[in-house]
Structure formats: C-alpha cells, structure tokens
C-alpha cells in the first residue's frame, strides 16, 4: 500500500533557530469487542470497538531543539525513565521514514499519568497516543515555519498510534472508536481506527465506567506476549469469526440503543478474552478471586433491579463497571455498599466516556 503520510515538506533542513515545546493529553480506552491477536505490522486479527475514557489519561510535553543529530531523553512523573523512553525511541527509529526531521532534533519528553502507577491500569494507549499527538503537533509547527501548513489529522494520529501500541489507535477519537476492517462499517480499516461518535445512540455518549481496582500489581503476562500466544491457540479461528459477528451485532445495538444486546455482547467478550488466556499454551489466569465475586455481584444486582449495568475486563483482574448516566446514583450506591470491599483500599476510579485528546500547549 502506498503510504499517504510521508510528507515531502519535511525532507529538507530544519531551520537553525527551530525550538519550542508542545503538549497534549490523551485518554485511555476500554474495549468492548476485544483486540486479541495480531498479524503483520501491528495489524489486528479482528476488529475491535472501545469507549474513549476521560479521567484515565496521560499528559505529555515535548521540548524540541535543532541539533546535529537525533537526541532524546524521557522523564516519567518527574524522573528520568530510560526503560519507558526506550519504547518511544524504538518507535521513532522504526518509523523515521515518516518523520525524517526527527534526525535533526533533540527531544526532551516529559510524561505523567492521571491514574496511580500501581492501579493496574494499562497506560500504553494513553501514553503512546499522547506522544503521537505531540509528534504531529511538532510536525505541524515545522510545516508552519516552512510556510506549508498542514492540519492535525486524527486518522493519521490513529495510524501512528497503532504502530506504537495497537489499542492506542482507538484513543484519539471522542466517545467511541472502531479499529479493524469490517463489512458492517464503511470506511473501517485495519490501518487506523475510525470515530463512532456520530454513529452511536445518545445513551452511550455519557456512559459511565467505574473501574474497580482489584489488584494494583503489574501484569504477569504482557499484552505483547498474550497476542503472540494467539498464534498457536486452538480456538483462534473460532474466536476471530465470533469477534466479527459480535462487531456486527454490537454496531447495530450502539446505533439503536438496545442495551440488552450491548450487555450480552460486552460481557461475553470480556469472558472470552480471559477464556482465550486460560486455554493458550502456556495458559495464564489474570482474574483474581475478587474479580469473580464482583462479576457475580453485578449479575445478581442486575437480575434483582433490572438496572442495565454490565462489566467488562481488560487484560488484568480489575473490573470495568459500565452503566448509563441515568442510573449513576443507584449504581454508585451499589458500588459503595457491595463492591468497594473487594477492591484494594476500597478504591475505584469514577471514569466516563470522554472527548478524546486535548491540546495543552
């Protein structure tokens, strides 16, 4: 495929006095239909759909200055962090063809998360998309300095975020995003995500996601290793067929506001993700006893009250409790009374569907 995002404008020399600082914040997202299994250059084996979150986010600032050769330092929450920085450096190195100007700059990157490091919340979607937004902002400012202005293009931001960390592709859009080619949605692509914010029923635009922190430990199996295990998973092809079917039906329910179908698919997807982990070789279990207790409590409460709340899980033990804004008071009471005691220090994060990345500088 011809790459449409290699810009001729940036192949020349960076002006000598070129320096400045850019800043963006970008949110995490929670998948409803899960991306689990990849192919090629960070392409998904099946399409996925997510809510863009609001409170779980990363703020990143990049200070740049003309230099003879590429220079780079990375600070996470005030401290130099070479391990984290190495991931970004590798991304820049692997993709320098798209950003040739990088080789004439020194970059100092400073990043911080709104959520505690030990909350077990995956930060690669928010951190990588925040960094990519900064990179595109830098490219934009360079284009202005050369008198050839370009606009910020969210599809392009999604494309590069995907190359940095698959699920980050979905974080650049407000409300909801779809990543991966499906016949059920025109314009969808494996290369980048597309926005669903104009497509979905209003009930989903203000959805809540209360994240119940069952464990703050870092994951015992990285998502990179998890994706790789899908290559030999005996259920892989059945999984990809099912995910495609779930995408089709979830899309229909997102449009109509059919919460029964939404709940059915969302919970089934969460359990399937963990079932796939449990039947890979080697197998692994990321749920904790308190995870299961919470799932059972949620289902019992739903049966009893008919309130349309449901759960989803990421690749970890924490539970994302999803519900419409109209039910927030009752569900928050339920969390305090019945669920908080299963959480570390009775802690949960009150998050909700958000508006996507925001420029800070």
54 binds ligand PMV (CB under 6 A): no
> In this chain, which of 25, 34, 239, 320 binds ligand PMV, going by CB under 6 A?
34
For residue 100, the minimal CB distance to ligand PMV (Å) is: 27
For residue 124, the minimal CB distance to ligand PMV (Å) is: 5
Q: Which one, 108 or 248, has the nearer CB to ligand PMV?
A: 248
d(CA 188, CA 204): 20
Site string for ligand PMV, 220-249 (x = CB under 6 A): ---x---x----------------------
161 binds ligand PMV (CB under 6 A): no
Q: Which one, 167 or 246, has the nearer CB to ligand PMV?
A: 167
224: Cα separation from own chain's centroid: 14
Q: What is the DSSP string of 14-51?
A: PPTT-EEEEEEEEEEEEEEE----EETTTEESS-EEEE
Q: Which one, 28 or 210, has the nearer CB to ligand PMV?
A: 28
Three-class secondary structure of residue 227 per DSSP: helix
**DSSP β-ladder status, 105-113 and 71-76:** parallel
315 binds ligand PMV (CB under 6 A): yes
Burial class (CB in 10 A: 0-12, 13-18, 19+), 125: buried
Tokens 């909700």 appear where? 352
Three-class secondary structure of residue 57 per DSSP: strand
Token output for 57: 């986010």
For residue 56, the minimal CB distance to ligand PMV (Å) is: 13
Q: Which one, 31 or 331, has the nearer CB to ligand PMV?
A: 31
User: Helices 82-94 and 124-145 sit at what angle, rounded to 10 degrees?
Assistant: 50
Q: Which one, 290 or 312, has the nearer CB to ligand PMV?
A: 312
For residue 315, the minimal CB distance to ligand PMV (Å) is: 4
Q: Which residues from 111-130 bind ligand PMV, rule CB under 6 A?
A: 124
> In this chain, which of 165, 188, 189, 233 binds ligand PMV, going by CB under 6 A?
165
Q: What is the DSSP string of 140-179?
A: HHHHHHTT------HHHHHHHHHHH-GGGGGTTSSSEEEE
For residue 168, the minimal CB distance to ligand PMV (Å) is: 6
Nearest in space to 301 (alpha carbons), one of 277, 275, 334, 343: 334
The conformation of residue 50, written as its DSSP 8-state character, comes to E
Q: How many residues bind ligand PMV (CB under 6 A)?
A: 14
Q: Which one, 48 or 54, has the nearer CB to ligand PMV?
A: 48
Q: Which residues bind ligand PMV (CB under 6 A)?
A: 31, 34-36, 48, 124, 165-167, 223, 227, 273, 314-315
């Amino acid at each position: 495929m011809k790459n449409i995002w290699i810009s001729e404008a940036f192949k020349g020399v960076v002006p000598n006095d070129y320096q400045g600082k850019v800043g963006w914040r970008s949110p995490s997202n929670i998948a409803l239909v899960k991306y689990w299994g990849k192919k090629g250059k960070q392409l998904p084996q099946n399409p996925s759909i997510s809510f863009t979150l609001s409170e779980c986010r990363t703020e990143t600032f990049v200070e740049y200055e003309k230099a003879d050769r590429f220079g780079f330092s990375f600070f996470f929450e005030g401290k130099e962090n070479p391990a984290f920085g190495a991931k970004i450096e590798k991304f820049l190195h692997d993709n320098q063809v798209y950003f040739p100007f990088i080789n004439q700059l020194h970059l100092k990157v400073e990043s911080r998360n709104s959520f505690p490091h030990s909350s077990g919340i995956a930060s690669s979607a928010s951190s990588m998309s925040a960094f990519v937004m900064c990179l595109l902002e830098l490219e934009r400012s360079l284009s202005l300095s050369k008198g050839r202005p370009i606009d910020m293009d969210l599809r392009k931001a999604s494309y590069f975020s995907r190359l940095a960390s698959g699920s980050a592709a979905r974080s650049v859009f407000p409300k909801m995003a779809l990543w991966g080619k499906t016949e059920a949605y025109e314009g969808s692509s494996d290369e980048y995500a597309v926005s669903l914010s104009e497509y979905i029923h209003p009930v989903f635009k203000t959805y809540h996601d209360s994240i119940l922190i069952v464990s703050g430990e870092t994951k015992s199996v990285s998502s990179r290793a998890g994706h790789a295990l899908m290559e030999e998973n005996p259920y892989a092809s059945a999984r990809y067929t099912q995910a495609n079917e779930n995408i089709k039906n979830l899309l229909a329910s997102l449009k109509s506001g059919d919460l029964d179908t939404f709940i059915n698919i969302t919970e089934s997807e969460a359990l399937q993700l963990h079932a796939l982990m449990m039947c890979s070789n080697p197998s692994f279990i990321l749920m904790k006893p308190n995870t299961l207790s919470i799932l059972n409590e949620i289902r019992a409460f739903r049966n009893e009250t008919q309130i349309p709340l449901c759960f989803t899980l990421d690749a970890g033990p924490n539970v994302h409790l999803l519900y419409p804004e109209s039910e927030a008071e009752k569900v928050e009471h339920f969390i305090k009374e019945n669920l908080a005691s299963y959480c570390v220090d009775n802690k949960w994060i009150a998050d909700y569907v958000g508006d996507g990345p925001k420029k800070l500088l």
